């Protein structure tokens, strides 16, 4: 009786981020999701035992973790020491990591990834050119990073890459993951087809919005057919312009993609990244540009990008998003849901330990 009262009292006072949520067949106990975070610590592209520590530190009963972006094939790599999910050795190496997360009662999804032209010949099999929708190189920016000139995929090569995504999804399920998140964001291969600043193709994969999205749609269809819509989510970032990849009409692009997801009954989640922060009266402000997509999408909607406790609570309470993915705050605060519960102070994230960019610079100059 006392326990029931205590539970009821907790429910009555729970902040919106810490209320339960049913995502498809999965029962979540709260809405604080670990965003996918590239770690560059999988030596030889094989996940290492220490990843079990990292992920299980962030696992809570009924929480959702999304694992770091993981290569679907040897041509998918663009950063040092990223994990893969295309060999039996990699599948076996993921298993104890997934088990460690499951023992804590959390759900674990794998983000499946192909970087396309965001790569260097040094990372490619036989030193070949990275593949893309285009042969246009990424314009060097202030960071001084000069990416290799890509090779445009021939039309008849595209089904093979679609199949690599399908196989990666199958392998992820074999490794024990609860589902997969297709990486369709941040200027990587899927976006190099979707966005009109990059895609300059003349075949059925270029030109109209429908044609530019065809590759992503084929990947979605293949992954859904392989593992079931109830285990598939996607990450999209129509407004983001990383690595020279942007679209002249991001709202039309995002809406079209959401319609494609809605074709699959039970498609699990759509995870979208906010447009860049606006600075309003000297404060960073999330612009909440994702509302049209949230309204259109029939499944679970996850928002990410710049959220803190206050902003997360607000948008969950408003119904703007079902779940919020936290990147840097979760990295620096493995017990983030608990800290939110207690409204405890947060550790600051430490850029100096961020391996992806530091390592790439060190290795590639």
Ligand X SMILES: Cc1cc2nc3c(=O)[nH]c(=O)nc-3n(C[C@H](O)[C@H](O)[C@H](O)COP(=O)(O)O)c2cc1C
Residue 273 in the binding site for ligand X (CB under 6 A): yes
Closest CA to 157 of 210, 203, 125, 188: 203
Q: Are 307 and 326 in contact (CB under 8 A)?
A: yes
Q: Are 342 and 10 in contact (CB under 8 A)?
A: no
State which residue, 170 or 328, has the beta carbon closest to ligand X. 328
Catalytic residue among 55, 79, 86, 188: 188
Report d(CA 284, CA 101) in Å as an integer. 34
x/- mask, ligand X, residues 196-235, rule CB under 6 A, reads: ---------------------------------------x
Residue 60 in the binding site for ligand X (CB under 6 A): no
Contact region with ligand X (CB under 6 A), list: 54-62, 130-138, 250-258, 303-311: 303-311
Instruction: Count CA within 13 A, CB hemisphere, residue 304.
Output: 26
Beta partners for residue 28, in sequence order: 21
Q: What is the DSSP letter of 179?
A: E
Token pair listed for 141: 């920016």
Residue 114 in the binding site for ligand X (CB under 6 A): no
State which residue, 152 or 331, has the beta carbon closest to ligand X. 331
x/- mask, ligand X, residues 67-106, rule CB under 6 A, reads: -xx-------------------------------------
Phi, psi of 311, rounded to the nearest 5 degrees: -65, -40
Residue 328 in the binding site for ligand X (CB under 6 A): yes
State which residue, 131 or 303, has the beta carbon closest to ligand X. 303
State which residue, 194 or 206, has the beta carbon closest to ligand X. 194
Residue 307 in the binding site for ligand X (CB under 6 A): yes
* Total residues in contact with ligand X, by rule CB under 6 A: 22
Report d(CA 124, CA 140) in Å as an integer. 20
Report d(CA 310, CA 286) in Å as an integer. 12
Residue 35 in the binding site for ligand X (CB under 6 A): yes
* SS3 category, 348: coil
Closest CA to 66 of 237, 180, 184, 220: 180
Residue 17 in the binding site for ligand X (CB under 6 A): no
CB of 246 to ligand X, least distance (A): 17
Q: In this chain, which of 58, 167, 183, 195 binds ligand X, going by CB under 6 A?
A: 183
Q: In this chain, which of 275, 289, 327, 334 binds ligand X, going by CB under 6 A?
A: 327
Give the C-alpha distances (Å, rounded to integers) separating 267 from 2, 4, 220, 299: 40, 35, 10, 6
Q: In this chain, which of 84, 238, 305, 337 binds ligand X, going by CB under 6 A?
A: 305
Query: Considering Cα of 270, then 36, then 103, then 338, what sign does the dihedral take?
Result: negative
CB of 274 to ligand X, least distance (A): 8
Question: Degrees (nearest 5) of the Cα angle 320, 286, 209?
Answer: 70
Task: Reply yes or no on whether 269 is catalytic.
Answer: no
Residue 304 in the binding site for ligand X (CB under 6 A): yes
- Residues in the site for ligand X, rule: CB under 6 A? 35-38, 68-69, 111, 183, 185-186, 235, 273, 304-307, 326-329, 354, 356
């Amino acid at each position: 009786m006392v326990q029931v009262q205590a539970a009821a009292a907790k429910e009555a006072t729970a902040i919106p981020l810490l209320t339960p949520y049913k995502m498809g067949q999965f029962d979540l106990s709260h809405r604080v999701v670990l965003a996918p975070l590239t770690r560059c610590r999988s030596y030889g592209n094989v996940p290492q035992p220490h990843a079990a520590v990292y992920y299980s530190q962030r696992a809570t009963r009924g929480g959702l973790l999304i694992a770091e972006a993981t290569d679907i094939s040897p041509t998918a790599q663009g950063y040092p020491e990223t994990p893969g999910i295309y060999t039996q050795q990699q599948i076996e190496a993921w298993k104890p990591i997934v088990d460690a997360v499951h023992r804590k009662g959390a759900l674990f999804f794998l983000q499946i990834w192909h970087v396309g032209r965001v790569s260097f010949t040094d990372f490619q099999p036989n030193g070949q050119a990275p593949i893309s929708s285009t042969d246009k190189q990424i314009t060097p920016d202030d960071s001084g990073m000069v990416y290799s000139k890509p090779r445009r995929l021939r039309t008849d090569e595209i089904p093979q890459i679609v199949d690599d995504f399908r196989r990666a999804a199958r392998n992820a399920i074999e490794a024990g993951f609860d589902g997969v998140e297709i990486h369709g964001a941040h200027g990587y291969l899927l976006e190099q087809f979707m966005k009109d600043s990059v895609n300059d193709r003349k075949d059925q994969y270029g030109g109209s919005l429908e044609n530019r999205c065809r590759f992503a749609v084929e990947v979605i269809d293949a992954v859904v057919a392989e593992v079931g819509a109830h285990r598939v989510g996607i990450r999209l970032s129509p407004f983001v312009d990383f690595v020279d990849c942007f679209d002249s009409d991001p709202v039309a692009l995002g809406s079209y993609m959401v319609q494609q997801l809605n074709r699959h009954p039970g498609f699990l989640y759509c995870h979208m990244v906010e447009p860049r922060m606006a600075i309003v009266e000297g404060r960073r402000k999330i612009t909440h540009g994702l509302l049209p997509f949230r309204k259109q999408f029939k499944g679970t909607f996850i928002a990410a990008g710049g959220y803190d406790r206050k902003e997360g609570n607000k948008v969950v309470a408003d119904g703007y998003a079902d779940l919020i993915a936290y990147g840097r705050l979760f990295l620096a605060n493995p017990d983030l849901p608990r800290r939110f519960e207690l409204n405890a102070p947060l550790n600051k994230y430490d850029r100096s330990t961020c391996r992806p960019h530091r390592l790439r610079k060190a290795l590639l100059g």
